[in-house]
Amino acid sequence: MSKGIHLYKNFNSLSTNTTAEYIASLQSFEVRDSDVFLVSYPKSGTIWAQQIITSIYELDGHVTEYFTNSQKMPWLEWVWGCAGGAYTRRPSPRLFTSHLSQVLMPPGLMDKKGKIVYLMRNPKDNMTSYYHFSKTLAGLETPQSFAQFFEWYLTGNGTCLHLHYLPNDDDQEESSDKTLKFEHQTLNVQM
């Protein structure tokens, strides 16, 4: 495990972005009915989807007081974004981005509160993109080869997160009315 990675309940994160205590505190995070969560595995087109979602909300007159994607649609798991209760004070609708697995997300999301936009990407394309991206992360262990990265990717070691994707099939029916699923390649073709 790389020195710059923080592990909490099988979730790897940059240690500069979060703490175990903060991730645990999300279990008491109050989800509003108007909240929107963009959830994806890293390198799935998250920033692109963030831009699309924030553009839609800007057309409706929301999030215009913020300047960057990370301000308009902050990362739920990054501790610096919630400093001093900033998330709680945000006006509705609040927009969030996350790479967290379902078990680490605020329980209110599974209680029919909020909306989820789930972005997926072909695993081969995702892994290739993530491999090249991981070589640019300063201070983190760089894979020596694609074969090593492939092993990390499948096991959740190194700079990789454990694969987390959607809840199991039994949970899908319950969440289907508030979960919108997009595939990266489908969006490319439709745009």
What are the residue numbers of the active site? 99
Q: How far is CA 77 from the centre of its chain?
A: 8
Mapped onto helix, strand or coil, the DSSP state of residue 40 is: strand
- Which ranges constitute the DSSP H helices of 11-157? 20-25, 46-59, 69-72, 86-89, 123-134, 146-155
CA distance 112 to 24: 21
Exposure of 188 in the CB half-sphere (CA atoms within 13 A): 8
The tokens describing 129, both together, are 């993109």
Query: 């979602």: which residue's tokens?
Result: 53
The amino acid that residue 31 corresponds to is V
